[in-house]
Each structure stands twice: as structure tokens, then as C-alpha cells.
Structure 1
Amino acid sequence: MNQIKESPFDDMLCFDVYAVNLAFGRIYKPLLDPLGLTYSQYLVLMSLWTQDDQTVGQIGGGLGLDSSTLTPLIKRIEAAGLVVRNRDPLDERRVIVSLTDQGRALQAHSSHIRSCVVSGLGMSLEELQQLQAMIRKLRRSIVAQDQD
């Protein structure tokens, strides 16, 4: 006997990943709005808080974004006074992104965000670590297929 599907998306892992991404966006939005940041801007700042003075290519490599997507995002963060962009004196083609004092100070105001998100997920730390490991494995597999 054929089982009736509730949704045409039931067998689509990509849809579940997409839906989880949207759900994460809804979790992060009220946490980031008071800081005046979008999730993507927050990720760029997190990258710079870990290592300041990165090229656009380095930031993009870490986030999996190309420079055409990243540049407008960085320009908006720059307009907010959180970063500055300067040409690399050794290679004018490269743009180095650096935190301003205001951008560095924002790190202290955002330190609670990750713990708030994790505590609201309703899963144990072990479950989240296992899930993250599987998602990273999936991402590596997809990227490897993309490069073939």
C-alpha cells in the first residue's frame, strides 16, 4: 500500500537544511537587531574578531562567499563605522578589512548571542556537536563534488 506524503518536500534533505537556515534567522534576528546587524554582517564581524586585518578573499573563504556577495555587505558594515577597507600596499588588487574601535567594542555587546541561541535549541550539547559534525561532513562532500 502506498503511503501518502504530507508534503512534496518530505524526502528533500536540502529543503530541511533550507528551513533550518530560515529558523536560525528568526532566532538571531531579535538578538542582532539591537546591535544594528544582520546575520551575514555578524558573521563577517565574528571572522574579524577572531583575526583582524583580513583580505576580502580571506573573509569570503571562511564564510564560503565570493567577493561579489561579500563586498556590498562589507560596505554596509563600513558605513556603520564598524570596519574600514584599505588597499593592500603590497598588492593594490587586494582589499584589507580592519575593525574600527567601534567594531571591536561591539564584540563585548554580542558575547551573549551564541549562548542564547544554543540554549534555545532544545538539544543537548552532545546532540548539537554530532549534528554539526554531520553537517560539516555533508558540506565537505558537496564542495568536493562541486570541484570535480
Structure 2
Amino acid sequence: MNCTDEIKCSEDRFEKLKLKNQLCFPMYAASREILRKYTPLLKQLDLTYTQYIVMMVLWEEKSVTVGDLGKKLFLDTGTLSPLLKSMEKKRLLTRARDPSDERIVRICITGEGEELRNRAVDVPEKMGGCLKLSEEEAATLYNLLYRILTH
């Protein structure tokens, strides 16, 4: 084995460390790009992306515990607590301890939160136009990403 062979062998063992071989990188970069595209749409609603996904849960369920919300959104209570406090100040939701179990905090949508739904109704369609994926590609991507999240 000559010197160039040794260098090549040495470099081969680092092949998996190349950025082009990382599945996590395009997922990370795509996530940042999607959030960047959401920002101007959500700014009009005075919401961050995380506040928006909380509102989506509340628009659907009207009331949810902090624990269940965290499970649905893959967020811990340390992230949710300040976020929910901020949203309560905006009068989008209320927080209250469950009378049957003081350890449980229940989140409920307010009238202002419900009204915001009317202003947000076009956001998914506008975002869909940004992604340049067919319905089949989007469904496949959705299913693959949820498989990663749930395993």
C-alpha cells in the first residue's frame, strides 16, 4: 500500500461524516425554509409558528390539557408554559387548573381565539403553493416524517 492508498483508506472511514450523506441536514434546512415562508403569513396574525400550531389544536379540540397538547405537538411543558402564558395575555386562550386534579392544567380557546381562525383560514393554501410538491409527494413526505416522529 502506498501513501495515496493510505490516505484514501483513511478518508473512506469519514465518508459518513460528509454533509451530503446526512439525512438530518436536508430535513433541518427544509424545516428552516418552511418556517421562513410561514413568518410573513403568521406575522399578519400576530403569531409565531409555535403559537399557530397551538391554535390549530385549539381550533379543532376547543379544550385540551397541557400534557396532551405537548404530546400532540412534540413539545415539553418547559417550552409550552411561557408560550401559553403569552397567548393568554393575547386573550387567545385561558389556562385553568382542573378542579378534579390540581396537577392538570386545561387550556381552552376564547372567542378571540375562535375569531382568529377566520383570519388564518388561507394560511395552509398559501403555504401549499410555496412547496412545489404534488399531492402524492406531499402525502408521502407527511407519512415518512410522522414515521420518524413516532418511532
Q: Please, what TM-score do these two structures have when normalized by structure 1?
A: 0.88
**C-alpha separation between the residues in 2 aligned to 1:54 and 1:139?**
21
**Gapped regions of structure 2 (runs ≥ 5):** 1-7, 9-14
Provide the alpha-carbon RMSD of the alignment: 1.9
The one-character-per-residue Cα deviations of 1:52-90 (angstroms, maximum 9, x if unpaired) are 121100111100111111111111111111111111111
Find out whether 1:59 has 2:74 as its counterpart: no
Q: What do the CA deviations read for 1:108-147 (whole angstroms, capped 9, x no partner)? A: 1101001111111111111111111111122223xxxxxx
Find the partner of 1:127 among 123, 137, 140: 137
Is 2:46 the counterpart of 1:36? yes
Q: Which moved more, 1:129-138 or 1:35-44?
A: 129-138
Mapped to 2, the partners of 1:27 and 1:112 lie a distance apart of 14
Q: Which has the larger radius of gyration?
A: 2
Q: 2:34 aligns with which of 24, 43, 57?
A: 24
State the alpha-carbon separation in 2 of the partners of residues 96 and 135 from structure 1.
29
Could you tell me which runs of 5 or more consecutive residues in structure 1 were left unpaired when the two chains were aligned.
142-148
Q: Percent identity?
A: 36
Q: Alignment partner for residue 116 of structure 2, among 103, 106, 116?
A: 106
* Separation in structure 1 between the aligned mates of residue 96 and residue 113 of structure 2, nearest angstrom: 16
Q: Of 81, 84, 104, which aligns to 1:71? A: 81
Match of 2:55 among 29, 45, 58: 45
Q: Distance in 2 between matches of 1:90 and 1:140?
A: 31
Any idea what SS the aligned residue of 1:35 has?
Answer: coil
Letter in 2 for 1:93: R
Give the number of the structure whose residues are more often helix, by fraction. Answer: 2
CA deviations on 1:3-52 (whole Å, 9 max, x unpaired) are xx9x9421111111111110011110010001100000000010011101
Partner Cα separation in structure 1 for residue 113 and residue 78 of structure 2 = 22
Q: Which amino acid aligns with 2:114?
A: R
Distance in 2 between residues matched to 1:76 and 1:20, nearest whole Å: 28
Per the normalisation by structure 2, the TM-score is: 0.86
Corresponding residue of 2:22: 12
